[in-house]
Amino acid sequence: MLEVSEVGNKIDKADYNAAIPELRVGLINAQYDLRDADFPVIIWIAGDDRLGANALVNRLNEWMDSRYADTRVFAEPTEEESQRPQLWRLWRSLPPKGRASFFVGGLMRAASMRAEAEIDEPEFSIWLRHIANMQHALVADGALILKFFLHTPAKAQTKKLKKAERHPELGWQVDQRDWAALETMGPVLPIAERILRETSGPGAPWSIVESTDARYRDLTVARTILAALTTRLSQESRHPAPSLAESVFGDIDAAADVLSGVDLSRTLEKHSYRTELAKQQAKLHRLASEARERGLSTVLAFEGWDAAGKGGVIRRITGAVEAGDYRVIPVAAPTEEEQKYHYLWRFWRDLPRAGKFVIFDRTWYGRVLVERLEGFADPAEWQRAYDEINDFENQLVERGFFVAKFWLHVSPDEQLARFKEREDTPYKAHKLTAEDYRNRERWDEYVKAVDQMILRTTSDGARWNVIPADDKRYARVATLKVINKGLTRVLRES
SS3 167: coil
Average pLDDT over residues 233-255: 54
Per-residue pLDDT, averaged over 223-242, amounts to 82
Share of the chain above pLDDT 90, in %: 76
pLDDT confidence bin for 97, thresholds 50/70/90: very high
Q: Say if residue 242's pLDDT is above 60.
A: no
Determine which helix (DSSP H) or strand (DSSP E) holds 327, and give its type and residue range.
Answer: strand 326-330
CB 44, CB 7: distance < 8 Å: no
> What is residue 250's predicted lDDT score, i.e. its pLDDT?
41
According to DSSP, residue 266 is labeled -
287 confidence band (pLDDT: 50, 70, 90): very high
Q: In the predicted model, is pLDDT for residue 124 greater than 70?
A: yes
- Please list the residues that pair with 147 across neighbouring strands: 44, 206
Give the distance from CA 87 to its chain's centroid: 7
Find, among 12, 105, 9, 111, the residue nearest to 57 by Cα: 105
CB neighbourhood size of 413 (10 A): 10
Mean pLDDT of 443-456: 96
Per-residue pLDDT tens over the stretch 462-480: 999 999 999 999 999 999 9
d(CA 88, CA 399): 11
Residue-wise pLDDT for 362-384, tens only, equals 999 999 999 999 999 999 999 99
CA distance 68 to 74: 20
- Cα–Cα distances in Å, from 145 out to 47, 94, 103, 130? 17, 11, 10, 16
Residue 244: per-residue pLDDT: 41
DSSP codes, 36-61? TSS--EEEEEEES-HHHHHHHHHHHH
Name the residue among 1, 33, 472, 5 with its Cα closest to residue 264. 472
* Sign of the Cα pseudo-torsion (10, 12, 13, 16, in order): negative
Torsion angle defined by CA atoms of residues 31, 35, 37 and 38, in that order, rounded to the nearest 10 degrees: 120
Give per-residue pLDDT as tens, 375-408: 999 999 999 999 999 999 999 999 999 999 999 9
Q: What is the pTM of this model?
A: 0.90
Asked if residue 336 has pLDDT above 90, the reply is yes
pLDDT value of position 238: 61
| pLDDT tens sequence across 310-331 | 999 999 999 999 999 999 999 9
Least confident segment among 69-83, 93-107, 240-254: 240-254
Question: What does residue 332 show for φ and ψ, rounded to 5 degrees?
Answer: -115, -165
> What mean pLDDT is reported for the chain?
91
